[in-house]
Every structure is written in structure tokens, then in C-alpha cells.
Amino acid sequence: MHSGPKPCSEWRSTGFQPAPQAATRAALQEPSRRSRGRNRAVRAIGAALCWLLATGLVLSGAEGAWGQVEFEKQLQDPDPRVRERAARALGDQGNPAYVPALGAIVQDRDEKVRMTVVRALIRLGSPASLPPLALAVRDGIPEIRYLALDGIINFYLPGYVETGFGGSFRSVTSRVETLFSDVDTLVVDPDVRVDDGVTRILRQGITGAPDMNTRARAARALGILRVKAAVPDLLEAAFSNQVDLIAEVLRAFQKIHDPSVGPRITFLLSYPQKNIQQAAATTLGLLRTESAIPDLRQTVENNDDIDVRVAALDALAFMPQNQTAPVFLKYLADREKRMRAAAALGLGRLKDAQYLGQLEQTRQRERDGGVRLALAFALTAQGRLEYLDEIVSSLSSRVRRGEARPYLIELARERPVREALYPQLYSRDPEIRQNLCLVLAASGDTVSISQLDNLLRDRDAAVAQEASRAIRILRSRGM
């Protein structure tokens, strides 16, 4: 937003030239009262027009063409304050046609101008904004680099940056709902294709940026954008001694989901920092790195940090084997509820009928909601579809949705579960309908498309939007 309308007298420096003062005085020296009133009206109209031009409200038709040309001229003004105001004004218009003019000064000599230009490019959100934003990633000012990186993500994942010149730009990273599986809401859709130039700049940023914060943000961007081509660069960064960078690299691996990475990062289970050990365990589980099972078992039994132990048991639960079943049975009655939940998930994924009775008995005495939901998942995975409704109903809970949705995504990979979910698409609860669209987008098939088609006319706009997205993603897979 503009900081406020500027008096016409201040517009001399922006290229607007009022009439010479002598001519103005001569024009106003009329003898009659009616003429003086007429002149006052003219001045009022002129002042109003100046205010409208200053705030950018008169930018349609002939005035719009004049305003665009005028603001583009101001981008070349010697005064950096004028260039900054012009960049802000063009960003406020929301017209992608202004991107080339803004991109031409993304390397302006004044850092405030460059920052405003980057913000304007983010707001305009055009594919043409990507090359100048990529240039800004190499800016000498760290804050401009950070904003440019966030802006690139925002193009592919709209809403990542809260835009608005009236307040600060900020990313949503810290506000995203956490999920307890390999599904992360902060990631682009599978059918998104990232520009090659953007990929190249981000890959160079991991190892070539002048500060570690920029490198970590580049790694974060590559993960969110699922750039598999960047795996070699990310692996190189994983061997650095920078904790924040390694943490972002591990998150990126979780989203890119390249199983070949696992054996190369198992050593991080022994990293000095506990948060890296925890992230490494989680990553190894999501990548199903079976070669790491002995190290993960040792971590579960011997590590002195409960968060690391929980992550390691979770990892084992993602790739259960007969030899790890005793580990799950041991912790099914543990005092720590997260250990009980992980143990239940592991036994459920084994799909061995001999543990069905144990799971049912445990569920009868379990009081924690999160553990009960994990047990419902385990029993459903064992073929007891009567527990599916409990997981589906949890989609309407803000507390449990983050667990229920990934459980359903995993379960829906089986055709009987998908068939049991289709009637739930007509639930009275729009939250359930909307989240089931997300589930089927990840695990649906050709039949799912015909079921989702009925929701394209849903009375809830958010549901119809998610149904359309799910159909698009499924069709991108050739279904």
C-alpha cells in the first residue's frame, strides 16, 4: 500500500510538471465572484485528480496508459526515493505487464529500491518474475536474497509469502501444520515443473552462497519444490559442519523422497547434535532405508534422548520386519505415549494376523486419543475396516487431522480401503470431504476420478477446489 497521497508540490521530482506559477496566477485573476468560484472548483478537481494519480487509483483507459508510462519513467529517475515509490506503485497494480520494467532495475544501486522491486515482483506473481528473482538471489544484501528465495517458492506455492506493502513480508514456514508421516503440506503438487533456471540458481546457492542462512534457505526451497536433480548438491551439504544447513537438507530429502539417499546419510544418527540425530532417523524411516535398521534399533535402545528414540522407533515402524516385531511388542505398553503409537504403527504395517489380538486388547485399555488413532490405523491395515470410520471422523478435528490424513493416504493405497472411503465423500462435514480429496489425490486411481468428479459442484467452494486439484494430479499420472 502507498504511504499516503502526496501533495502536488511533491510531484515535481517524479516527472509531473505543474503549470508555471505566473501563468497560474494570471489564470486565477478573474474579477467576478462567479469566476472565482469556478476557479476554486477547478483547483479542487485538480487536487483530487493529483491525489488519485498519486495513490494509483486512476489507472484505467487513457489514464492507465499514462500512469504506466509515467511510473516506468520514474523507475529510471536519478532520485532513489522516486524509483522506490514507482516500484511500489507498479507492484500495487497487480498487472504482470509491469514485470519487465521492474526486472530491469532488480540490480539497482540502491538497496531499498532493490528490496521494493523484489516485493513488487512477488506480488505480481508472473512467470516472467522468475528470472529477476533468480538474479536477486545473488544480491549482496542477505535480506534481499532471503526474500527472493521466498518469492520463488511463493510462485510455485502461492500463499507461502504473505504479501502486502502495508506490512512485512513473511513466509508461512513456522505456521504450517505438522504431519507425522511422509506427507508434508509445505510442498508443491507432484505435477509442478520447476523452471531450469530456477533450479540452477538454487543448486548453486546450496554450496556457493556467501552465508549459511542463504544456503539453508536454498536447501529448503529445493525440498519444497521437490527438485530431485539437486540431490547431489544436497548430499554434499549434508557433509558440512553447519547444523542449520544439515537440518534443512534432511527436510529436503524427506520431500524429494529419493531412496538412494538413505545409505549415504545413516552416519548422521551419530551426529553430536540431538536435533540432527532425530531428523536423520525420521528421514531414514521415510526413505525406507532398510540398511539402517541395525543402527536405528541401537538408537532406540541406547540413546538417552526420548525425542531421538521416538524418531528411531517411528523409522523402524515405516519398514517393519519379523525380526523387529519384538521391539514393537516391547514398546506397545511403554510409559511414553509416542513410543506406544509408533509400536502400534509398526505392528499394523507388518499385517501379520498373529498380532491382531494384541492390538485389540491394547486398544481397549488405551486412553490417549493419539495412540488410539494409531491403533485404529493398525487394525484397519490388518483388514478390520470397521475402524476406518474413526480415522475419517478425525479429519474434522484440528488436533488429530495432522495424524489422520497421512494414515488415510497410506491406507488408501489398497483398493478395499478406497472403496470404503468413497461413500464418505458425501459426508455432511465439509472438512471431511475436503481432506478426503487430498487423500485421493495422493493415493487414488482411475475410479477415484469419477468419484471426485461429483464434488466439482460441491456447495463448499474449498471442497470443489480440492476435488479439481485431485483430479488434475491423478490425470498427470496418466490415470
CB atoms within 10 A of CB 86: 28
**469 within domain boundaries:** yes
**233 within domain boundaries:** no
Task: Identify the residue with better confidence: 68 or 350.
Answer: 350
pLDDT of residue 172: 44
pLDDT of residue 60: 47
Q: How many CA atoms lie within 13 A of 254 on its CB side?
A: 26
Task: Identify the residue with better confidence: 29 or 222.
Answer: 222
Residue 32 to residue 16: CA distance in whole angstroms:
31
pLDDT of residue 113: 97
> To the nearest whole percent, how much of the chain has pLDDT over 90?
77
Banded model confidence at residue 29, pLDDT cuts 50, 70, 90: very low
Banded model confidence at residue 19, pLDDT cuts 50, 70, 90: very low
Residue 345 to residue 64: CA distance in whole angstroms:
61
**86 within domain boundaries:** no
Banded model confidence at residue 65, pLDDT cuts 50, 70, 90: low
52 pLDDT more than 70: no
pLDDT of residue 63: 46
Angle between helix axes 293-302 and 274-286 (nearest 10 degrees) is 140
Q: pLDDT tens for residues 265-294?
A: 999 999 999 999 999 999 999 999 999 999
Banded model confidence at residue 479, pLDDT cuts 50, 70, 90: confident
The pTM for the full model equals: 0.81
Q: pLDDT tens for residues 286-326?
A: 999 999 999 999 999 999 999 999 999 999 999 999 999 99
Q: pLDDT tens for residues 407-452?
A: 999 999 999 999 999 999 999 999 999 999 999 999 999 999 999 9
**474 within domain boundaries:** yes
57 pLDDT more than 60: no
Phi, psi dihedral angles at 29 (to 5 degrees): -85, 70
Bridge partners of 161, per DSSP, are 171
CB 348 within 8 A of CB 377: yes
Position 444, amino acid? G
pLDDT of residue 162: 73
Bridge partners of 170, per DSSP, are 162
Q: pLDDT tens for residues 357-415?
A: 999 999 999 999 999 999 999 999 999 999 999 999 999 999 999 999 999 999 999 99
CB 335 within 8 A of CB 310: no
165 pLDDT more than 50: no
CB 473 within 8 A of CB 438: no
H/E element, 21: helix 21-28
Min mean pLDDT across 136-140, 172-176, 336-340 is at 172-176
Banded model confidence at residue 213, pLDDT cuts 50, 70, 90: very high
| Average pLDDT across the chain, whole number | 85
pLDDT of residue 201: 97
Residue 372 contacts by C-beta under 8 Å, 6 or more apart in sequence? 363, 366, 390
Grid cell of 140 as nine digits = 549482496
Q: Mean pLDDT throughout 14-39?
A: 39
Number of domains the chain is built from: 1
Banded model confidence at residue 166, pLDDT cuts 50, 70, 90: very low
pLDDT of residue 435: 97
CB 265 within 8 A of CB 237: no
**408 within domain boundaries:** yes
Q: Mean pLDDT throughout 43-59?
A: 45
Grid cell of 61 as nine digits = 483507459
Residue 28 to residue 12: CA distance in whole angstroms:
21
Min mean pLDDT across 63-77, 295-309, 367-381, 453-467 is at 63-77
Residue 246 to residue 238: CA distance in whole angstroms:
5
**316 within domain boundaries:** no
Rounded alpha-carbon distances, angstroms, from residue 318 to 209, 267, 291, 347: 35, 19, 13, 10
Q: pLDDT tens for residues 4-17?
A: 333 333 323 333 22
**467 within domain boundaries:** yes
Question: Domain residues for 467?
Answer: 391-479
pLDDT of residue 469: 96
Q: What is the 3-state secondary structure (H, E, C) of 158-186?
A: CCCEECCCCCCCEECHHHCCCCCCCCCCC
**236 within domain boundaries:** no
251 pLDDT more than 60: yes
Please name the residue that has the C-alpha cell 508540490: 9
Residue 420 to residue 387: CA distance in whole angstroms:
11
40 pLDDT more than 60: no
